[in-house]
Every structure is written in C-alpha cells, then in structure tokens.
C-alpha cells in the first residue's frame, strides 16, 4: 500500500489519490450486512430501471464504486434497516422517471415513509414551515401541525439568527433536526407542547439611562451625591 501511495504521489495522480482516500473512508462504514443489503437493492433497481443500467455502469468497477458510495451515504444518513430500503423501493416502483435514481433521491424516499408514519413533515415541508414562521410576529400565530414541528422550527430559527446561517445551511439543519426528532419519537419520548412565554414586563435600560434616572431621583429628594 505504501509503495502504491508513493508511486501515486510521484506521478501526481490526483484521481488515484481520491479513489484511495475514498476507499479508506468507505471501509469505516462497510460491513457484510450493509454489503448484502445494497447488493440485493441494486438487483431490484436493475429490474426497475433496465434501460439505464448500461449507461450508469459501464463495467463491473463502476458498479462496485457506486455500491461503496451508496453504503457510505446510507451510513451517513441513518439508513440502516430493510424496512427503510423497502420504503425507498415503494417510491422507486411508483416513479415515472426511467433513469437510475441518485443516492440522495433514494435516501429521501427511504425517509419519507418514516416521517409520515411518525406524523412528521419531510425535509421540504419542514423548510416551508420555517419560512412561514420567519414571516410571523410570534409563534402563537402559527398553526403548528404537531408539537414536534414547533420545537424543530423554533430551534432552526434560533440557530439561523444566532449563527447567521445561509439558506443552504438552514436546509441542512432541517434534515438534521428531522433525524434527531425521528430518533426521539422512535425511542418512545413524548414531545411536549409549546411553552407559553411570559410577556416581558421589564425592559432593561442602558447604563447611561440608569444613571440619568438615579440623578433625577436624587434631585427630587434633594440628595447630594457627595454626601452619600
């Protein structure tokens, strides 16, 4: 391996370096069960999209590389069960697109059934709820589909404000919060109702303004500051 690596570096073969690096990353998430699941999945997808197989996989190496990519993507996005893959296959069978699905699209299909079963919005729906909330003056004006939606949207909004997140970063955060909420609900946790915030009755003043108030009070009471 070291000899091959030195040869690649000496030849400045960027493509080979990328493949070797990617292989190391993939090994960390690959196990025999994941390989079997993806092998079975690819067989099913080939039957659904036979016309696109020859264009997507020009040779056996292309297919092996694609499987590694899918295994790594599944591990990164929490796709770990046969039930999730079956969800994805249901969407694939219903798709009117004749082309082989991208791994990102298939992952969305896998998750959508999960979200629906748990009473959660999908990533796009959550993002739209967040945008609607941004237009509101307060959370009470929102018609929340569920308690979970309230907690996810308000957290996303809070992080967007505190970290000055871009639109693309907010969308990634939506996906992250959905994954987190899915785990919480599946673990049996009861998601609490929205918390009613107490109206702010006292508005803090600046130091200068406070000193002005203090001076005014002393003047009214004829108090000399030097005598205190």
DSSP code string of 25-81: HHHTT--HHHHHHHHHHHHHHHHH-HHHHHHH-SSHHHHHHHHHHHHHHHHHTT--S
82 has pLDDT over 60 = yes
* Residue 93 confidence (pLDDT): 93
91 has pLDDT over 60 = yes
* Residue 31 confidence (pLDDT): 62
Higher pLDDT, 203 or 38: 38
Higher pLDDT, 198 or 118: 118
Averaged pLDDT of the chain? 80
Q: What is the pLDDT of residues 148-201, one digit of tens each?
A: 999 999 999 999 999 999 999 999 999 899 989 999 998 999 999 987 655 444
204 has pLDDT over 90 = no
């Amino acid at each position: 391996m070291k000899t091959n690596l030195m040869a690649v570096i000496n030849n400045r073969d960027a493509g080979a370096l990328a493949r070797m690096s990617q292989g190391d990353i993939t090994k960390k998430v690959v196990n025999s069960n994941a390989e079997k699941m993806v092998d079975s999945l690819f067989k099913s997808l080939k039957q659904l999209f036979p016309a696109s197989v020859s264009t997507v996989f020009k040779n056996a190496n292309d297919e092996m590389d694609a499987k590694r990519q899918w295994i790594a993507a599944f591990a990164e996005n929490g796709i770990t069960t046969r039930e999730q893959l079956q969800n994805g296959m249901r969407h694939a069978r219903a798709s009117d697109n004749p082309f082989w699905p991208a791994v990102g699209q298939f992952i969305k299909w896998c998750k959508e059934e999960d979200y629906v079963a748990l009473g959660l919005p999908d990533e796009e729906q959550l993002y739209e709820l967040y945008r609607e909330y941004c237009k509101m003056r307060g959370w009470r004006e929102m018609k929340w589909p569920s308690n979970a939606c309230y907690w996810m949207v308000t957290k996303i909004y809070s992080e967007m404000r505190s970290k000055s997140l871009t639109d693309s970063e907010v969308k990634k955060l939506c996906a992250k919060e959905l994954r987190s909420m899915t785990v919480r609900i599946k673990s049996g946790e009861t998601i609490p109702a929205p918390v009613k915030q107490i109206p702010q009755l006292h508005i803090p003043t600046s130091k200068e303004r406070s000193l002005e108030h203090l001076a005014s009070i002393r003047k009214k009471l004829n108090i000399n500051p030097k005598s205190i």
